[in-house]
Structure 1
Amino acid sequence: MRQPDIEIYLKDADHHAIAAWLSEALGPCTPWQQKGQTFKCLAGAVPVTWLPKAVGKWHSLYLESAATPWDDDLSCAQAAFAALGVEVRCAPGGWQEEENDEQADRWMRISADGVEEITWRTG
């Protein structure tokens, strides 16, 4: 089932590399608009939010649309790793507000080691 939006976390990437990747994947990116710590642009018709150091050294990439080539966070994270060569993390499935803390700490890690489930305490 396609997720209504996508959020992944990238290590050691910058928004310029992200824009180049998204331009290829989604369509040309508008220039980034900075609002406080947050950067926003449109990649094709998809609203994009980039939040540097959202969780420690990890940067959040949020695609606010279901109209992407990826069905879910994991397929986007795998594409990001393939394109950028940086470790990527994402939730294992759609996140629900009512999940307990233990489920909320379950993450997928995509790296040179492949895909694995990890515990990542972000809160």
Structure 2
Amino acid sequence: MSETEGPERVDVLRYESPDGPSHRSIEAGRGAEVVAAHESEYRKRERIRRVTTAVVTVLAVGGGVGFDRPLVGVAGAAVVLGAFFLGGHDREAVVPEVVATSIAPDRAAERYDLDVRAHDGGE
């Protein structure tokens, strides 16, 4: 395949954003691999976020108890937990969805408004 030809077949991924969905083409057969990589990264970040929230919550309660102000500690913990739940990551914005597999580039361009000639073949 030459540089000007473009890929023979592509997978199409959809990423959600506040401005609406955006689509990206990648080499056919790699869609599930890319989604799995994004899913793994998302899970890792969520795990770190949960552990950090738990540690800060425990420190808030412990600090309140240590300074004989348990209600202040509990209030601080409530603020931290509220921020955790309200500021949650949106999985759909981070992990793409495979919307088409092994589709002809011209059909992908037509259906998903893609420039498949600008396809880079990688992540």
TM-score tier, shorter chain, comes to under 0.3
Output the TM-score relative to the length of structure 1.
0.27
Output the TM-score relative to the length of structure 2.
0.27
Q: Does 1 or 2 have the higher relative contact order (CA < 8 Å, sep 6+)?
A: 2
Higher strand share: 1
